[in-house]
Every structure is written in C-alpha cells, then in structure tokens.
Amino acid sequence: MSSAGGVRADHPELGREQEYVSKLYRRLDELRAQSSERLDTALRATGGTPQARSERETAITMYTDQLAHLSAVENGLCFGRLDFDSDERRYIGRIGIFDDDGDYEPLLIDWRAPAARPFYLATAASPEGVTRRRHIRSRNRTVVGLDDEVLDLNAARPGAHEEVTGEAALLAALDARRTGRMKDIVETIQAEQDRVIRSEPGGVLVVQGGPGTGKTAVALHRVAYLLYTYRQQLSTRVVLVVGPNETFLRYISQVLPSLAETGVLLCTLGDLYPGITARRLEPPEVAEIKGREVMTEVLAAAIRDQQRVPDKCFDLAIDGDVLRLDRAVCEDARAVARRSGKLHNLARPIFDTEIIHALSLQLADRIGSDPYADDPLGGDDAPGDPQILAEADLAEIRRELREEPEIQAALDWMWPILTPRQLLRGLYASDDRLATAAPQLTEAERALLRREPGGGWSPADVPLLDEAAELLGEDNRPVDALAEKRRRARIAYAEGALEIMSGSASLDFEDEAESEILAATDLIEAERLADRHAEEARLTPAERAAADRKWAFGHIVVDEAQELSPMAWRLLMRRCPSRSMTVVGDVAQTGELAGTTSWQRALEPYVDHRWRLAELSVNYRTPAEIMAVGAEVLAGIDPSLRPPRSVRHSGVEPWRLRVEPTRLDECLVDVVSREVAEVADGRIGVIVPAGREYELGRSVTKALPEAAVGDQPDLERRVVVLTVRQAKGLEFDSVIVVEPGLIAAESRRGRSDLYVALTRATQRLGVLHTRPLPAALEGLRPLAAGEPSRAG
C-alpha cells in the first residue's frame, strides 16, 4: 500500500473536489429546505379528526427527525472517494444523497451501505477492485486537504503500517488534541474494527480489546450501523447503550448524534430502574456483596420472611364480637398461597380468601348455627345441617369482613403488599431480617449491607430492586384503579355531552348516518383515541423504554462490561430476551470487585457457549512509549495477557518524580502547570487514589482555577482531577498519575486500576509519588524537579 505521504493541502485535485463537495452541500441545503417546509405545513395544520391529528403528530416527528439528521452531518459531510479499476468512482460520506434531477444516481454513499465497505477494507493485498482510496478533509464546507492511497502492491512503502488503512488521515486524527468529548471515527475506521461494526446483530458478540483499541468507538459505530441496516426492527424496540458512569456517558454523548442517530437510550446501570437515579456512593466491598448471584436467594428469603403468622393467635374485635385467628389457620392460608406458585404480591388475594373464609365460618357459626340441627323435627332446613345461613349470606359476611379495618390491618401484617423499595429498605435496616434472609453471608458481610433508610440508592442496589420486582410481582391495583376512575370520568363526560347535544339538536337528525355521529360510544372512543395519540406522540420510543422496567430492547450494547456483577448481568439479560447484544470490555481492566475476569463465566448462565468473540489488537490511543509501561503492569496482572500494539510513537518518554510527602501538593501544581504549557490547548488528566480527589483537587484548582474536580467533573476543562473509577474509558493528551503505589494497593483489583490509569494518555505520561513505586514502574525515567518533562 502506498500513500502520497500525508494529508496534502496543495493537492492538484483540491479544486475539483471542492466543486463536488460544494454540489453535495447545495443538495443538502435543498433537502433541509424541503423538510423544513413540510414541517412548517404540518405545524400550521390544526383541528381535524383524531386520526388526522395523529397523522399530523407523526409527520411533525418525522420531519423534525429528518431535520436533525440533516443538520448533524454538516461537518465532514463527504470524507472519502473510491476509484475502481472499472473507472467507477464512489464518494463516501455521513449520509446517502441522491441526484434527484437525473436518474437518481447516488452522489454520496452512506458509510454504512455495503457499497462503502471497500473504503474500510480494501488493501493493496486485497484491493477489491479499488485502485485508489482518497481521504477528503474539509472544514466548514471547504476542502482543506486530500490524502491518496494507491492500492498497488508494487508501490508499497517500506515501514508503512500494513495493518492500517488511510494511515495519514488516521495519524492526523490520533495526534489531534483532545477536547473532552469523544469524536466519531467514521473517516478512519480500520478493517478489524469494521468487521465488528458490521457483524450481524443476532446473539451475543463480545468485543475484547486492550486499552485504546477503539472498543467504545466501535460499539457506538456498530449502533449506528445496526440502526441503518435494521432500522425497522430496531428503531421501535430501541437500542440501549450502558456505560459505567455519567461522566463517561457525557464523554461519548456526541458520537451518535454526529452520526445522525438520536433515538438511542444511553444510561448507566444506576438509571435502569425507572423512577430512580441511583448515585449513592458506597464502599466497593458492599457493592461486591450486592453483586453476588446469591442475592437472588437472599431476596426470595426476605420476601418469605415477610409472609408472617402470629406466634399464637390474633384476636380481632369486629362489631363488639371477637374473632380469633389462630396460628394453624394462618399457616394453612400461607401454605395455600405459597403453593399457588404466584409471585408474592399476586398471591395476596389467595391468602386473603383463605383467611376471610376461615373468619366467615367462625362468624357464621356464631350467628347462624342451627339450634335444631340435631332435631329431626325442628327448623326448615334439612335435618343434620348445623348451618342455617345460605351461601348468599355467607358471601355477604365475607364481603363485610374484607372491609373491616382491623382485618385488613391483620392481613397487611401477615402478607403485606410490598414494593421493591420497601422490601430492600426493610432488609438493609434490620439485623434480624438480614440474619434470617442471608444465612449464606458471614456476619461481617451482613453488617456491610446494614444501613438506615434514606440517603438514596447506589448503582449496586438497582439490580436488586429489579430482581425484587421480578420476585414480588407488580401490584398494579393502584394504577389500575386510577385508570378506571379516569375512564369512568371520561364516559360520564361523553354521556353528558351527548345529553346536551341531543337535547338541543337531535330532533333534526332523521338521517341514520348523521345520528350515528352522536353515539355515546363514538364520543368515548374519540376521547380515548385522542388521549392515546397525545400520550404516544409526546414520548419517543427511547423515552417510553426508559420509563418501562419490562421493556424488551432490540439490541443492548454494554461498554466496560467487565465491571458488571452477576446481578447486573441478570438485569440486562431480562431486558434483552432476544439476546441481541454487543458486550465490550477488557478483562484486564476490571476494577469492580464484583466484576468479571472471564467472559465465559459471566455469560455462561445465559447463553452457555453460544457467544462470539472478536478481539481488537491495535492501540490507537496510547503511544508505544506509554504502552510499554502499561505492558509491565499488565504482566503483573496476568502474564498470559498480551498488551495491544500501539500504532504510533510520540517521541516522549514517560517520567517519574519522587517528592517529599509535605511537598506533594506543591509539586503537583508545578507539574500540572508545566503540562498545561506542553499540551497547549489539549486536556490534562490528574489521576489520584480514591478518596484523595477532593484534597488534591483543591490544591490544583486553587492554583489553576480552570481545573475541574467533583463527582461529575466537567471534562471540557483543561485540567481534570479524578479517580481511576471516574477515568475509566476516558482519555487525555497528558496524564499525571499520583501515588501509583497507593492506587495499586487500594483493592485486590488495584493493579488493574493502575493499568487503566497509565493507559489514559494520548501523548504524555508522568508519575508523581511520595512512596516507593510498584516494581513495574521502577524503570521509568526519573525527572529531577525543575527539569523540563520532555525527553531528549
């Protein structure tokens, strides 16, 4: 493969390409004007039948989406050209554009279309008919550079990366300063990435790759590809992307919109239980226990523990009478309800029926026993029948008993209707309940789960709440009751309207067709239709999916998936019954104690061996000098793991600087200031041990007010101080790791955390420490205070 030697601003064909690109933009403007006109028309329309109103809503949504799509592709609309040996020429871009003047020829081919594929796959060894691949660089509609690759084996340059395509454009993208927001890579997707992106949607695809291999980028482009190729199936069922934390979601949030895809639900595990935003911080050991699969049994036992019977009996004062519920009766009722196989909340009516039946017999015995039962001559009833009450009387007694507050209170105590939150809150708040429900845990582990109500939920609580919802069964009675009340109100309104109308004008309606207009059912129907359409039009499928705990997503992408606990996997699998999933991660980077170091172990319970593995092997982020340090740490985690190969060198050796503990803050400010000067308008990440971010962050922000620190630091600031957990998945031009020894010793996954910290930089890495370094870092070049940090 040969390249013309980089993106050239003086390419002889620049002017010709500019003409073509301008034509595309003119066409884009026309398409925008068209959509905007249609949107205007739809917005101006008013009134009409419910159907017309609903059609109008649909049109408004469609044209608004179209306009959003067309604006999203403004930058870099066309970025490539393929020349074939057949003289065919194809322009590749962010969307497909056709020439509607002529014979609908494609002017621009969507990068996701099969016809665009050679742009990513063709190589000199396997050119697929392509003779030249051209990268077109533009800024604000102006073509600023071209880079040609002639796919000719004879012209292969010695030393060129045979594994990469579009090397000049790729290196330009990799060397660019970071902005705090992830960018799309549509112009320079590499062949191994392309194969993952276009892999068929069915089944579970695991994408394993070391740091910086583009897993996140690939996962997001895969979403865009799947939506393009399987739009009908996926847009209504929604694609869910799960990321490790909110900061990360903000970091990646612009990628899909820049690819003109918006109807995707991006969230963290903490957002996956509707109505809750779980952000409570808790020690990793607590999260680890909550993530264990055994928690399913614990929750089931906690529910059984709430199905109570009195120690001896309940005496219930009813209308001056005392009814007695003894333990045996309650135990029988409980056994019947449990045997029904229904979920706890749904079995409550069965339990109620049993208890009420027992009480009604007791009452009937008192008020209705036949004094002449044994007398063959006495009474109207058959001799020998001790009960003079008829079934209707008994039914009436049962109805009355059900309404008795004292009985209701007893039933609520014995078999309470529980929400998942009540169950979990009650469990955490009680040593006794924990002891009964979780004998499998040690006392110390149970003590870790113990907490007082209040203070919000943690991400690790979410799978437990979801599991509890599954085990309890949703009790929709309050919601149903409300819906029924509203329905009745609407019917009443419709009937009222009918009365008024028929009172004033119905006498004129001889014609059947016209009188039909006034049928009450029509009015009700109209009302209902209007409500439903209004409701549906207001919510997008992604919004509806977010609000529905039982939503079955069309496809789920999990990023940093190695961090998921077994309980979190259970939740995600429930949300994806089709098992159409892309699972992206690196088992060497697992930081959560409940996370996984084996994909097989994590997935086996759900798909056994039926999952596909794709491995990414090239590191696009971290230059070779830094990756060499990472590789040393990786060897300590697991000598069998291979580090990804860096695609480039930066020429900057990572450094280390040891300082006195009392001077740590001062020296940190010093080296950060130096890095600010080094990376010009780039971004600097200061990665510190957990719990030290505020203290060290304060020192940095005092000296450099533009620095950010906090639970959700603003990544667009020049300097960001954060923990490894927060830095997961992110990258910075320059990274300073503070106290790597502490990071490595912080937990039993500490070495993986250190590996993550060291592999966040795109250009420069420094290590600042007060105590001895982990052995893997001892070989770093020492930096004397005051020495400029650039090597050589």
Task: Give the residue numbers of the binding site.
Answer: 209-216
Instruction: State the minimum distance, in angstroms, from the CB of residue 79 to ligand ATP.
Output: 12
* Choices 34-42, 212-220, 591-599, 765-773; region in contact with ligand ATP by CB under 6 A: 212-220
Interaction between residue 592 and ligand ATP (CB under 6 A): no
Asked if 255 interacts with ligand ATP (CB under 6 A), we say no
Rounded Cα gap, residues 285 and 458, in angstroms: 13
Enter the tokens of residue 617: 């092997």
One of 621, 656, 683, 769 touching ligand ATP (CB under 6 A): 621
What is the C-alpha to C-alpha distance for residues 222 and 397, in angstroms, rounded to an integer? 64
Considering only residues 173, 350, 501, 530, which one is a binding residue for ligand ATP as defined by CB under 6 A? 173
Residues in binding site for ATP:
209-216
Question: Rounded to a whole number, what is the distance in angstroms from the first to the last CA of the chain?
Answer: 33
**Which 8-state DSSP code applies to residue 293?**
T
d(CA 355, CA 350): 9
Interaction between residue 648 and ligand ATP (CB under 6 A): no
One of 31, 151, 206, 217 touching ligand ATP (CB under 6 A): 217
Which residue of this chain has its Cβ atom nearest to ligand ATP in the complex?
214
Nearest residue to 150 via CA among 4, 315, 365: 4
Residue selected from 35, 213, 258, 306 as contacting ligand ATP according to rule CB under 6 A: 213
Short-list 353, 327, 329, 328, CA closest to 340: 353
Q: Which stretch binds ligand ATP (CB under 6 A): 168-176, 345-353, 465-473, 774-782?
A: 168-176
Give 314 or 599: the residue with its C-beta nearer to ligand ATP: 599
The residue (of 173 and 659) whose beta carbon lies closer to ligand ATP is 173
Whole-angstrom Cα distance, residue 368 to residue 387?
6
Contact status: 212 vs ligand ATP (CB under 6 A): yes
Q: Which of residues 14-43 bind ligand ATP (CB under 6 A)?
A: none
How far apart CA 768 and CA 692 sit, in angstroms, is 14
Region near ligand ATP per CB under 6 A, out of 167-175, 261-269, 365-373, 450-458: 167-175
CB of 120 to ligand ATP, least distance (A): 9
- Mark residues 115-154: x for contact with ligand ATP by CB under 6 A, - for none: ----------------------------------------
Give CA–CA dist 290/296, Å, rounded: 10
Gyration radius of the chain's alpha carbons? 34
Please list, in sequence order, all residues whose beta carbon lies within 8 angstroms of the beta carbon of residue 659, skipping any fewer than 6 positions away: 667, 768, 769, 770, 785
- For residues 105 and 98, is the Cβ–Cβ distance under 8 A? yes
- Figure out which of the listed residues 93, 145, 209, 643 binds ligand ATP, where binding follows CB under 6 A: 209
- Return the amino acid letter for 191: A
Contacting range for ligand ATP; rule: CB under 6 A; set: 182-190, 435-443, 517-525, 770-778:
182-190
Rounded Cα distance, 704 and 389, in Å:
87
Please report whether residue 629 would count as binding ligand ATP according to CB under 6 A.
Answer: no
CA dist., res. 293 & res. 306, Å (int): 21
Q: Which of 35, 123, 138, 190 binds ligand ATP (CB under 6 A)?
A: 190
Residue 551's closest CA among 189, 332, 238? 238
How does 368-388 read in b/e, with b if 16+ C-beta sit within 10 Å?
bebeebeeeeeeeeeeeeebb
Instruction: Tell me if 188 contacts ligand ATP by CB under 6 A.
Output: yes
185 lies in the site for ligand ATP, by CB under 6 A: yes
Q: How far apart are CA 626 and CA 212, in angstroms?
A: 12
Check binding of 307 to ligand ATP (CB under 6 A): no
Using CB under 6 A as the binding rule, whether residue 569 contacts ligand ATP is answered as no
Distance of CA 336 to the CA centre of its chain: 40
Q: What is the DSSP letter of 673?
A: H
Identify the residue among 731, 733, 739, 753 touching ligand ATP (CB under 6 A).
731
Residue 586 contacts ligand ATP per CB under 6 A:
yes
From its phi and psi, is residue 637 left (phi > 0), alpha (psi between -120 and 50) or beta? alpha
Is residue 170 a contact point for ligand ATP (CB under 6 A)?
yes
Contact between 174 and ligand ATP per CB under 6 A: yes
Q: How far is the CB of 193 from ligand ATP (least distance, A)?
A: 6
- Candidates 54, 216, 562, 763; binder of ligand ATP (CB under 6 A) is 216
* Subset of residues 53 to 92 that bind ligand ATP, contact rule: CB under 6 A: none
Residues 747-786: x/- map of binding to ligand ATP (CB under 6 A)? ------------x---------------------------
Of 2-10, 210-218, 335-343, 352-360: span binding ligand ATP (CB under 6 A):
210-218
> Which one, 213 or 296, has the nearer CB to ligand ATP?
213
Residues 6+ apart with CB under 8 A from 280: 455, 456, 457, 458, 461
Q: Give the long-range contacts of residues 448-451, CB within 8 A, separation 24 or more.
A: 448/283, 448/285, 448/286, 448/289, 449/286, 449/289, 449/290
Residue 228 is a binding residue for ligand ATP (CB under 6 A):
no
Residue among 54, 193, 296, 580 that touches ligand ATP (CB under 6 A): 193
List the one residue from 1, 108, 189, 389 that touches ligand ATP (CB under 6 A).
189
Q: Which two tokens stand for residue 281?
A: 């911080």
How long, in residues, is the chain?
792
- Two tokens, residue 515: 């009188």
Q: Listing from the earlier edge strand, what are the strands of the sheet with 719-723?
A: 719-723, 684-688, 732-738, 761-769, 655-658, 781-782
Identity of the residue, 759 or 763, whose beta carbon is nearer to ligand ATP in the bound complex? 759
Q: How many residues form the binding site for ligand ATP (CB under 6 A)?
A: 24
Cα–Cα distance measured from residue 635 to residue 643, given in angstroms and rounded to the nearest whole number: 9
Q: Which residues bind ligand ATP (CB under 6 A)?
A: 170, 173-174, 183, 185, 188-190, 193, 209, 211-217, 586, 589, 620-621, 729, 731, 759
